[in-house]
Amino acid sequence: MKNPRDDQILPLELLIEIFSWLPVKTLMQFACVSKSLKSLIFDDPSFAKLHLNRSPKSTHILLNTEDDPYKFENEDSWVVPCSVRCLMEDPSSVIDVEGCYHLKGNHLVIDSCNGLVCLGNFYDVGPIEDFWVQLWNPATHLMSKKSPTFHLSMRTSVDAPQGKVNLGFGYDSSHDTYKVVVVHWDCTEQKMMTRVSCMKNICCKNILCDPCSPLMLYPIMGQFVGGCVNWIALKNMNGPEYEWDNVTREQLAIVSFDMSKEKYTYRPLPEGVTKVPHFEPSLEVLENHMYLSHDHNMTHFVMWKMREYGVQESWTRWLSIRYEHIRCDNLFFKPVPMFLSEDGDILLLVKTEDLEFIKYNIRDNNAEYIPNLNHEFWLQAFGYVQSMVSPCQDKEDG
Q: pTM for the whole thing?
A: 0.86
Domain stop point among 31, 51, 71: 51
73 and 16: one domain?
no
Q: Would you say 206 and 228 are in contact if contact means Cβ atoms under 8 Å apart?
A: no
CA 252 to CA 276: how far, in whole Å?
8
Q: CATH number for the domain including 121?
A: 2.120.10
In a domain, 134, yes or no: yes
pLDDT at residue 126 in the model: 61
Question: Are 60 and 44 found together in one domain?
Answer: no
Say if residue 22 is in the same domain as residue 147.
no
39 in the same domain as 61: no
Residue 397 lies in a domain: no
Q: Do residues 281 and 294 make contact, with C-beta atoms less than 8 angstroms apart?
A: yes
Query: Residue 291 is inside which H or E element, if any?
Result: strand 289-296
Question: Distance between CA 94 and CA 114 in Å, rounded?
Answer: 22
Residue 265 falls inside a structural domain: yes
What pLDDT was estimated at residue 159?
54
- Residues 69, 42 within the same domain: no
Domain identity same for 229 and 345: yes
Q: Please tell me whether residues 18 and 103 are part of one structural domain.
A: no
Closest CA to 275 of 253, 250, 304: 250
Nearest Cα to Cα of residue 362 among 343, 388, 379, 377: 343
pLDDT of residue 268: 92
Gap between the Cα atoms of 130 and 121, Å rounded: 8
CB of 101 closer than 8 Å to CB of 398: yes
Residue at 152 is within a domain? yes
Strand 60-66 and strand 378-384: the pairing is antiparallel
- DSSP structure string for 328-367: ---TTS--EEEEE-TTS-EEEEEETTTTEEEEEETTTTEE
User: Which stretches of the chain drop beneath a pLDDT of 50?
Assistant: 67-74, 160-161, 375-376, 394-398
Which residues, 6 or more positions from 168, have their beta carbon under 8 angstroms from its beta carbon?
110, 111, 180, 181, 183, 221, 222, 224, 229, 231, 257
Q: Are residues 103 and 157 in the same domain?
A: yes
Q: What are phi and psi of 102, to 5 degrees?
A: -90, 120
Q: 395 lies in a domain?
A: no
Burial of residue 157 (number of CB atoms within 10 Å: 0-12, 13-18, 19+)? exposed
Q: How far apart are CA 17 and CA 233, in angstroms?
A: 45
pLDDT of residue 347: 92
337 in the same domain as 198: yes
The span from the first CA to the last CA of the chain, in angstroms, equals 24
Q: 394 vs 132, 199, 300, CA distance in Å?
A: 17, 11, 49
- Domain span including residue 35: 4-51
**Pick from 13, 84, 90, 83: which is nearest to 46 by CA?**
13
What pLDDT was estimated at residue 98? 53
Q: Are residues 42 and 83 in the same domain?
A: no
pLDDT at 353: 63
Q: Are 19 and 40 contacting, i.e. CB atoms less than 8 angstroms apart? A: yes
Residues 85, 153 within the same domain = yes
Count of domains in the chain?
Answer: 2
Query: What pLDDT score was predicted for residue 193?
Result: 83
Quote the pLDDT of residue 397.
38
Asked if 153 and 176 count as a contact pair (C-beta separation under 8 A), the reply is no
- Does 272 reside within a domain? yes
Instruction: Report if residue 185 sits inside a domain.
Output: yes
Q: 59 and 44, same structural domain?
A: no
Q: What is the pLDDT of residue 238?
A: 67
Nearest to 227 by CA among 311, 170, 183: 170
398, part of any domain: no
Position 191 scores a pLDDT of 77
- CA-nearest of 115, 132, 134, 142 to 38 is 142
Q: Domain boundary at 51, 70, 90, which?
A: 51
